[in-house]
Amino acid sequence: MKGFVNGYYRISLWVSLFAYLNLLWVVFSIAGVGVFGFMPATAAMFAVIRKWIMKEEVAVFKTFWGYFKKDFVKVNILGYIIIAVGYLLYIEFRILWSSGETIYLIASFGVFALFILYTIVLVYFFPIFSHFELKKVNYFKWPFIIGIVHPILTIFLIITLSVLYYMTFITIPALLFFFGGSVTAYILTWGAFKTFPKYEKVEGRTI
């Protein structure tokens, strides 16, 4: 009975922590009017998750706030470069696909291939940002390298999140508001951490 109670307590604690971290992410994103708050709030959330995975005891709010302030400018610059690239790919794909001419339709598949590579960068960007201290361009290079070198892991992470989102959306969509961000961050960071020891030998600079 004692083991059951302890297990229930631990589960309840982790559920509360994930919900609390997700709430901080939402509040700080809104506080920055989305435009300037979303990226640093997301980076701070991943930083807290990283410490959990490394089994470090942290004060959630203090850690979140510290990373939010520390990375505010840097992650906004990098993040909105990523958003701009994604937007340009989307617009180019829509233009080519809607043209109706065969040559442009074929070219649209090339843009779609670039979008797949873009998705790979998205998967690993925040886990790498929270773990490594790199030159700005390397925050785009290393997500691409890790995603390509570890295709099974990349596919697994994308499929896992896709299935999780779908099942949650058709059953209890409200859970996405309470846990969507923090659970996503945990899954991506957990996956990325499987590869980091190898690349620490190359970069040798963790935060």
pLDDT tens for 18-64 read: 999 999 999 999 987 667 899 999 999 999 999 999 999 899 999 99
How sure is the predictor about 16, in pLDDT bands with cuts at 50, 70 and 90?
Answer: very high
Per-residue confidence (pLDDT) for residue 203, from 0 to 100: 62
Closest residue by Cα to residue 131 from 143, 122, 144: 143
Per-residue confidence (pLDDT) for residue 105, from 0 to 100: 80
| Half-sphere exposure for 122 (CA within 13 Å, toward CB) | 17
Distance CA 25, CA 181 (A): 8
Distance CA 14, CA 161 (A): 19
Helices (H), the chain: 2-31, 38-53, 60-70, 72-98, 102-131, 138-149, 151-171, 174-193, 196-203
Per-residue confidence (pLDDT) for residue 57, from 0 to 100: 87
How sure is the predictor about 196, in pLDDT bands with cuts at 50, 70 and 90?
Answer: very high
Write the pLDDT tens digit of every residue in 79-136: 999 999 999 999 988 888 887 777 878 888 888 899 999 999 999 999 999 999 999 9
Q: Which residues of 19-51 are buried (b: 16+ CB within 10 A; e: fewer)?
A: ebbbebbbebbeebeeeebbbbbbbbbbbbbbb
Per-residue confidence (pLDDT) for residue 96, from 0 to 100: 83
How sure is the predictor about 1, in pLDDT bands with cuts at 50, 70 and 90?
Answer: low
Distance CA 142, CA 133 (A): 12
Per-residue confidence (pLDDT) for residue 32, from 0 to 100: 76
Average confidence score pLDDT of the chain: 90
- Whether the predicted pLDDT of 205 surpasses 90: no
128 residue type, one letter? I
Closest residue by Cα to residue 79 from 116, 145, 130: 130
Element (H or E) spanning 150, and its range? none
Distance CA 83, CA 26 (A): 19
- As a whole number, mean pLDDT of residues 199-205 equals 70
Closest residue by Cα to residue 53 from 83, 21, 85: 21
Q: Which residue, chain included where needed, has tokens 């846990």?
A: 179
Per-residue confidence (pLDDT) for residue 9, from 0 to 100: 76
Residues near 195 by beta carbon (within 8 Å), at least 6 away in sequence: 146, 149, 150, 153
